[in-house]
Structures are given as structure tokens and as C-alpha cells.
């Protein structure tokens, strides 16, 4: 069947075979990225614009590097402070950029659904680099690649997603992806940070870390989104760390070979113990960052192939 | 005006709750006679209705006409045309305009503009508090003398209960009807959808449906204190219904409405962030929808309204959270409401009790009935005629309908206001 998408707006529209195809290609790009000649011409001649309506260092750098390794002309736009302040609407901004004939638009926006809206108005391939509290598909894909490489498979694993799930687009995309690949998913966190209706979506919800981590294969920690805490979701950071921060003691409830993941940037001493985060025997946080570049290379490559096919057909 | 008679129509009588085949005679804007079978001899011009439904015109409480302030979204002319085309013969307008309708002077402007431009009856509301700020009550007496039929701060909740108690007490003394929005404002702040599975998956800020129960409980307590006449603009959740039932059983002067959108759509219709489905309060779960439909059928909810809220394209073409709330509904109210009949949830007479009779009674109007002596505010419609709605064909200046491209059944053929035909081909 092959990868059939025009855009990568979320994990939700992807079929399992499409997810596997992205990961398979990403494996190749891991090899490329580890070689001395890190260059391919897969995106040669194409223009990639990174539009970030919300500040980001890591994700933007990862997309930029991915595009450059594949030979695209990459432009970065930080829009958190520019035209939006001048009253230009999202759609006008998109139309303006569209007129400059980009081929790949990488978009991050603080509002859920904003990237979908933008994708309806442009005629290039759009990648969602995080929209509000909705989805962050490339993060879920890089997590999946990391798990697949560490565990040898991406199905029938028991995976705990822990912490601030309510404010996390990473959690949503992971939940959908890992569910599609038939894993057992647990959500662990204080009830104020677990969104409503989660038990209906086929997850097991735990309010206690020891119970939630029992015998899991993978522990995914989430960043406590302090900047989004407008209403006192937790009493204090130290109480949060005491109850929900991952340390060696809590991790002991998981399987002996359980891996520890975190999408970054970390709040050391809030959701994760610093020493544990640096423990190369358990923590795969650095691998996640590495996989991020390769997964984004793969996603952009596949989207660009479909884009060229569409343009030839037209 | 000369007499005319409509004959061979399916008469929908919300007063008796019955349907019958027959006709009516209209003279000087008033229904003067009803007949079964052949029309009487001295009936003036006789028009054959071919078995189409004839019902009292709809009385729509809570219509936003964007005059003054935003005439590009909706004017009295365009809203009036849309109403006539939708079988709505009386629109009760909201005062949440720019500026708000909180003085007799601005109210006079609205009344004058409505008289000049609208082909249907327009009854304006004024605000309960000055500038809808919830701090000082408006000149309820003067405003009533000028023509205000009810007092409402729209979707602003008067949070200061001392102010509200005084306003309700004063309104009771003047015999004024107060219309309230019962969504508890702090819990509702920032919400774009109803909390639950859908909100969580879409990553949108949600409000618990409990916010409605909380607001209702507060207002019921204040009505017990004050004895004021109170109408809830929209009640949309199953959990609020028992509280309404108790309040009515306890003899409080309370009635409730619901918008057609909450009766025919649910939260999942928002789908991929479709902002035309963003309304206030947000669309609810299917369980809630079914419960409020049942409450309309049983009579617990008194009134169905369109909650007509025009928004231009610019305020809707935004990310869901940032987009404006509201949907137009004057022209789609009747065909959308017919879904409740076609689904078997209620009879036409039950439906018209909520569309015409109850809102008219609540406002002390003589219309809303098919009886002799009632004003000849009438709608003739085909209950089954199918069509696909094209929003471009709506007569409102704003086209923000959630029913664009929806399959609907039920078309208005003609509308009369005080015996004058305001919509439809010559019959």
C-alpha cells in the first residue's frame, strides 16, 4: 500500500503499516546519520520552511538538521513575536508563505487544530510540529523508533505514560500510536493532570506510581508544563516529585530491563531524578534526541515523494 | 384589509395538542374563524393549501441582530427576511450589541430601526444591568415603558449575588421577566468544548457539564428569595433537568429554553475543529442531547429557540479556541426542528408548543395560537420536502450555520404576519 498521506498532521490518520514504513526508513537514516558523509539528496531542490508560532529550540533544530541532511533549502521563521502581533491572521500568514512556493511546511502553533486549519489553505506538504494540546506526531514516531530499537518490537509491550498528561500533546500522540500498534497503555499521574474520559479510550489510569509502574517495559515521563499551570493543578513541585517524580526506588517496580524515556526538556528534580536521567543503562533520553532527526528525515522524505507524485499527476 | 381563507391545510394546534384537516379565515390581521371540510361561503379569497401544514408562526426568544454596532454581520432587514423565510413571525432580540441596549434611548433606536426594516414582529430585550457589567441594574421601569419585553445580560452572568437579588426583586415589583444564562462562569472560563473523551482527544479546553447545574442551583435559590419571573435561556444537560423539575414543582415562576443546535447536534459534530459548531454553551454529549429532547417532549423544557448569533467569516476562520462562538439559526430552525418529529421524538403539536405557544405565553403575547381572535401570524410548510442546505442561500448577512450541506426535511412555503404575507410565492 505504501505511505499515503499528503500531510503529517497527527498520528490519528496513520495506519499501522504507514507507521512501520516511516520507522523502517528512519532506521536507514539513523545509519546515514552515523556515517561520516551524512548527506543525501532526497529533498534536493525543495524548500522547507519551519514556522514556529511557539518558541522551540530542540524541535526546530531537529527539523532543520533533518532537512539539511536531505539537501533541502531550509528557512526558519519564529512567529511567536512578529506578524501575529500586527494582527495578521494565521490563514493570511499561511497564504503569504504559500505564495513563496515552499514544498514542506513544518508548523508549531499554541492552538489545538491550528495546523489542520493551515493545511487546508496551502498546496504543499504540512508537518505538525505540535499544535496546542492536541498532537505532536514526530515526537510519538521518534519514541516508537527508540522503543522498537531497544525492545526489538513495537507491540505487546506494557507502557506507562506518567505525569502531566492533561497538558501534553506528546502524551496524546503516543497514546494513539502505541494503541494502534497494540500495546498496553497505562496513564499515571495526579487526577488533576489526567484529562477526562481517558479510561474510555482503552487506557488504564493509575493515581499511584508504584502501582502504575508495576512490571511495565517502558516508562515515559512527561515534562511538567509549568508555563501552562494557570490554576494550581498540584500543591507544589516538591510534593509532586515526592509522589510522581521518577527515581530509582519507583523505577524498581517496573521490569528489570525497563527503559526510561523523556521528551525533553527535563525538569530535573521535578518529574525525574537527575542521576536516573543520566543513567545510560536505563535512560534512553539521548537516543530519543538522535532518533528525532532520523524520524523527521523519514517523514519529510515520504511526504516529499507523495508531493512530487501529486504534482506530476496534476 | 379584505378577508382571506386558507383551506384544506393540516392545522397544527399547540393549544389543544391536536392536528386536524381544515382551514382558517383571516380578517384585519386576526384569525376570525376555523372550519373543517369545505370553507364557508363568505370567506373572502380562498386559497387551497393541498394538505400542507399550517401552524402559528414561530416566536424566537434570544435572536442577536447586530444593530447597533456590527451591521455588517446582521441588520434588522436581513434578520427579518431570514426570519420570514424561516417561518419565524416574532423575534425577541438580544441586547448584547455594541453599545448594549441598556437605556431607553438606545432601545428607541432599536425599535425604530426594526419598524423600518423588518417584515416580522420585533420585540426587543434590554439588559438587566448597565453595560452588562453586573454592578448596577438598568432603568427597568423606563425600559418597559419604552417597549422592552424582557431583561437579560446575554451570556454574561451576574456574579455579584447582591446585585442580582436586588435586580430580581425590583424586576418582580415591575412585573418584568428576567432571562438568565446559567453556566457557572468561573468553571466555564476559557472552555471551548464540553469536557470528556472528545475534548481530551482534540486537546481542547473543556468545561464540565456540571457548570450548568451549579448555575441553575444558584439562580433557583435566588428565585426562592425574590419570587421573580425567570426564564433560562438555554438548558442543555441531563444533570440540570431534575433541578429544573423541582423548581417548577415548588411553584417558582421559572421556565426554560434550549437552542435547536443542542437538540440536534452533539459534541462529536465538531469533528476536525469545525468552528461553525462552536456555540455557547458548547455542544454536549449524545446522552445530554437525548435527555433535553425528552424534556422538550414532556414539557419540562418550555421553549425551543434558534439562539441566532451571526458571526462573520473572519471571526470563524481561526483556530477553534480563538474562534467566535455562535451560529445563525432563524432560517434553519424549522427544518432542523422537524428532525425531532421525523425521528419520532415528538408530534408536530408538541413541537409547536415549544416553538410558538409557550414562548408567546411567557412573554404575554396573544400570538402562538390558531384560535379565533389570535393574530394571524402563520407559517405554511411542507413537513417532508427534502433539501440539502447551501449556506450561500441563507438570507442572513452572516452564513455561519452548522447545517451547511446537511440533508434536511421541511420547507417553509409561506409566512404571514398579522395577516400580511411576508414570505413565499403568491398562493
Helices B210-226 & B241-249, crossing angle to 10 degrees? 10
Tell me whether A305 touches chain B (CB under 8 Å). no
CB B144 within 8 A of CB B172: no
Taking the CA of residue A116 and the nearest CA in chain B, the distance in Å comes to: 8
What is the average pLDDT across A275-284?
A: 96
DSSP B52: -
B5 falls within a domain: no
Over the stretch A186-239, which tens digit does the pLDDT of each residue have?
999 999 999 988 888 889 999 999 999 999 999 999 999 876 565 588 888 889
* B376 pLDDT more than 70: yes
Contacts of B195 in chain A (CB under 8 A): 195-197
Query: What is the rounded CA–CA span in Å between residue B242 and residue B181?
Result: 18
Tell me whether A196 touches chain B (CB under 8 Å). yes
Taking the CA of residue A310 and the nearest CA in chain B, the distance in Å comes to: 24
- Residue A227 is predicted with a pLDDT of 66
- Residue A81 is predicted with a pLDDT of 63
Angle at the Cα of B317 from the Cα atoms of B314 and B319, rounded to 5 degrees: 130
B397 falls within a domain: no
* Closest Cα in chain B to A89: B318
DSSP B89: E
B391 falls within a domain: no
Over the stretch B304-345, which tens digit does the pLDDT of each residue have?
999 999 999 999 999 999 999 999 999 999 999 999 999 999
Q: What distance lies between CA B142 and its chain's CA centroid?
A: 25
- Residue A86 is predicted with a pLDDT of 61
Query: What is the rounded CA–CA span in Å between residue B101 and residue B113?
Result: 13
- Residue A84 is predicted with a pLDDT of 58
Please state, as a whole number, how many other Cβ atoms lie within 10 Å of the Cβ of residue A81: 9
* Closest Cα in chain B to A116: B272
B→A interface, C-beta within 8 Å: 195-204, 206, 208, 272-273, 314, 317-322
Angle at the Cα of A100 from the Cα atoms of A99 and A104, rounded to 5 degrees: 105
Tell me whether A81 touches chain B (CB under 8 Å). no
- 3-state DSSP: chain A helix, strand, coil percent, rounded to 5? 45, 15, 40
Taking the CA of residue B200 and the nearest CA in chain A, the distance in Å comes to: 6
- Residue B239 is predicted with a pLDDT of 97
Helices A285-313 & A137-151, crossing angle to 10 degrees? 120
DSSP string, B201-213: HHT--EE-THHHH
- Interchain proximity B322–A112, CB inside 8 Å: no
Query: What is the rounded CA–CA span in Å between residue B189 and residue B207?
Result: 8
CATH number of residue B73's parent domain: 3.20.20.140
B313 falls within a domain: yes
B42 falls within a domain: no
B423 falls within a domain: no
Tell me whether A108 touches chain B (CB under 8 Å). no
**Torsions phi, psi of B369, nearest 5?**
-135, 165
Domain of residue B317, residue span? 56-362
How many structural domains compose chain B? Answer: 1
Residue A224 region by backbone torsions, left for phi larger than 0, else alpha for psi between -120 and 50, else beta: beta
- Interchain proximity A90–B319, CB inside 8 Å: yes
Could you check whether the bond before residue A65 is cis, i.e. omega within 30 degrees of 0? no
Could you check whether the bond before residue B363 is cis, i.e. omega within 30 degrees of 0? no
Residue B197 has its nearest CB partner, among A132, A134, A201, at A201
B32 falls within a domain: no
Residue A112 has its nearest CB partner, among B196, B197, B321, at B321
- Interchain proximity B206–A117, CB inside 8 Å: no
- Residue B236 is predicted with a pLDDT of 98
B292 falls within a domain: yes
What ipTM describes this predicted complex?
0.89
Bridge partners, B11 (sequence order): B20, B54
Query: What is the rounded CA–CA span in Å between residue A304 and residue B391?
Result: 36
Query: Which among B115, B105, B96, B192 has a CA at the least distance from the CA of B142?
Result: B105
* Closest Cα in chain B to A175: B201
Query: Which among B127, B139, B60 has a CA at the least distance from the CA of B97?
Result: B127
* Closest Cα in chain A to B197: A197
- Residue A118 is predicted with a pLDDT of 93
Contacts of B201 in chain A (CB under 8 A): 172, 201
Query: Which among B268, B322, B204 has a CA at the least distance from the CA of A167?
Result: B204
Over the stretch B343-356, which tens digit does the pLDDT of each residue have?
999 999 999 999 99
Taking the CA of residue B211 and the nearest CA in chain A, the distance in Å comes to: 15
- Interchain proximity A89–B318, CB inside 8 Å: yes
- Residue A228 is predicted with a pLDDT of 58
What is the average pLDDT across A92-108?
A: 92
Amino acid at each position: 500500500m505504501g505511505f499515503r498521506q499528503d500531510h503529517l498532521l497527527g498520528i490519528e490518520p496513520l495506519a499501522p503499516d504507514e507507521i512501520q514504513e516511516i520507522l523502517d526508513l528512519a532506521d536507514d537514516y539513523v545509519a546515514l546519520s552515523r556515517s561520516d558523509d551524512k548527506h543525501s539528496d532526497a529533498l534536493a531542490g525543495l524548500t522547507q520552511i519551519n514556522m514556529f508560532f511557539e518558541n522551540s529550540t530542540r524541535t526546530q533544530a531537529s527539523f532543520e538538521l533533518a532537512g539539511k541532511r536531505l539537501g533541502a533549502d531550509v528557512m526558519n521563521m519564529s512567529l511567536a513575536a512578529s506578524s501575529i502581533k500586527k494582527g495578521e491572521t494565521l490563514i493570511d500568514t499561511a497564504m503569504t508563505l504559500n505564495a513563496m512556493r515552499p514544498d514542506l511546511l513544518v508548523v508549531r502553533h499554541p492552538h489545538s487544530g491550528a495546523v489542520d486549519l493551515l493545511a487546508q489553505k496551502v498546496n504543499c506538504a504540512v508537518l505538525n510540529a505540535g499544535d496546542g494540546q492536541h498532537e505532536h506526531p514526530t515526537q510519538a514516531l521518534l519514541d516508537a523508533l527508540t522503543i522498537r530499537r531497544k525492545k526489538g518490537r513495537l507491540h505487546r509491550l506494557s507502557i506507562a505514560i506518567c505525569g502531566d498528561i492533561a497538558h501534553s500533546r506528546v502524551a496524546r500522540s503516543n497514546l494513539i500510536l502505541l494503541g494502534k500498534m497494540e500495546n498496553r497503555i497505562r496513564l499515571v499521574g495526579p487526577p488533576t493532570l489526567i484529562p477526562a474520559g481517558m479510561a474510555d479510550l482503552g487506557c488504564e489510569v493509575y493515581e499511584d506510581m508504584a502501582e502504575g509502574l508495576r512490571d511495565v517495559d517502558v516508562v515515559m515521563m512527561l515534562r511538567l508544563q509549568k508555563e501552562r499551570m494557570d490554576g494550581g493543578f498540584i500543591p507544589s513541585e516538591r510534593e509532586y516529585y515526592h509522589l510522581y517524580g521518577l527515581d530509582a526506588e519507583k523505577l524498581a517496580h517496573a521490569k528489570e530491563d525497563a527503559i526510561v524515556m523523556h521528551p525533553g526538556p527535563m525538569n530535573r528534580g521535578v518529574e525525574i531524578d537527575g542521576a536516573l536521567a543520566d543513567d545510560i543503562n536505563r535512560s534512553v533520553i539521548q537516543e530519543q534526541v538522535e532518533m528525532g532527526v532520523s524520524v523527521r528525515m523519514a517523514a519529510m522524505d515520504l511526504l516529499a515523494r507523495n508531493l512530487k507524485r501529486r504534482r506530476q499527476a496534476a | 384589509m379584505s378577508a382571506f381563507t386558507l383551506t384544506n391545510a393540516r392545522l397544527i394546534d399547540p393549544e389543544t395538542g391536536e392536528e386536524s384537516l381544515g382551514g382558517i379565515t383571516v380578517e384585519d390581521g386576526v384569525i376570525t374563524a376555523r372550519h373543517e371540510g369545505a370553507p364557508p361561503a363568505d370567506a373572502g379569497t380562498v386559497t387551497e393549501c393541498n394538505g400542507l401544514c399550517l401552524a402559528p408562526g414561530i416566536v424566537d426568544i434570544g435572536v442577536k441582530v447586530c444593530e447597533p454596532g456590527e451591521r455588517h454581520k446582521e441588520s434588522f432587514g436581513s434578520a427579518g427576511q431570514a426570519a420570514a423565510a424561516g417561518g419565524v413571525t416574532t423575534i425577541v432580540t438580544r441586547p448584547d450589541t455594541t453599545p448594549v441596549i441598556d437605556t431607553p434611548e438606545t432601545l428607541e433606536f432599536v425599535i425604530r430601526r426594526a419598524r423600518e426594516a423588518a417584515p416580522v414582529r420585533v420585540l426587543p430585550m434590554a439588559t438587566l444591568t448597565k453595560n452588562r457589567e453586573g454592578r448596577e441594574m438598568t432603568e427597568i421601569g423606563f425600559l418597559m415603558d419604552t417597549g422592552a419585553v424582557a431583561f437579560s445580560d446575554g451570556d454574561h452572568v451576574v456574579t455579584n449575588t447582591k446585585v442580582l437579588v436586588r435586580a430580581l426583586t425590583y424586576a418582580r415589583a415591575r412585573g418584568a421577566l428576567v432571562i438568565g444564562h446559567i453556566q457557572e462562569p468561573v468553571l466555564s472560563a476559557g472552555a471551548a468544548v464540553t469536557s470528556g473523551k472528545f475534548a481530551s482527544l482534540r486537546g481542547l479546553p473543556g468545561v464540565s457539564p456540571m457548570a450548568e447545574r451549579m448555575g441553575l442551583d444558584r439562580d433557583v435559590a435566588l428565585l426562592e428569595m425574590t419570587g421573580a419571573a425567570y426564564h433560562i435561556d438555554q438548558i442543555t444537560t441531563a444533570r440540570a433537568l431534575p433541578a429544573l423539575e423541582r423548581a417548577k414543582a415548588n411553584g417558582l415562576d421559572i421556565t426554560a429554553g434550549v437552542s435547536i443546535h443542542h437538540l440536534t447536534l452533539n459534541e462529536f459534530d465538531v469533528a476536525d475543529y469545525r468552528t461553525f459548531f462552536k456555540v455557547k454553551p458548547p455542544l454536549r454529549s449524545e446522552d445530554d442531547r437525548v435527555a433535553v429532547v425528552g424534556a422538550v417532549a414532556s414539557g419540562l423544557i418550555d421553549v425551543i429557540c434558534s439562539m441566532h448569533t451571526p458571526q462573520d467569516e473572519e471571526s470563524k476562520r481561526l483556530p477553534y479556541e480563538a474562534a467566535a462562538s455562535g451560529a445563525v439559526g432563524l432560517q434553519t430552525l424549522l427544518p432542523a426542528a422537524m428532525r425531532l418529529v421525523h425521528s419520532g421524538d415528538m408530534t408536530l403539536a408538541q413541537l409547536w408548543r415549544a416553538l410558538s405557544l409557550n414562548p408567546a405565553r411567557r412573554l404575554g403575547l396573544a400570538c402562538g395560537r390558531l384560535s379565533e381572535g389570535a393574530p394571524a401570524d402563520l407559517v405554511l410548510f411542507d413537513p417532508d420536502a427534502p433539501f440539502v442546505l447551501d449556506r450561500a442561500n441563507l438570507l442572513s448577512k452572516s452564513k455561519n450555520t452548522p447545517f451547511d450541506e446537511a440533508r434536511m426535511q421541511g420547507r417553509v412555503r409561506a409566512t404571514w404576519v398579522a395577516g400580511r404575507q411576508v414570505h413565499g410565492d403568491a398562493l
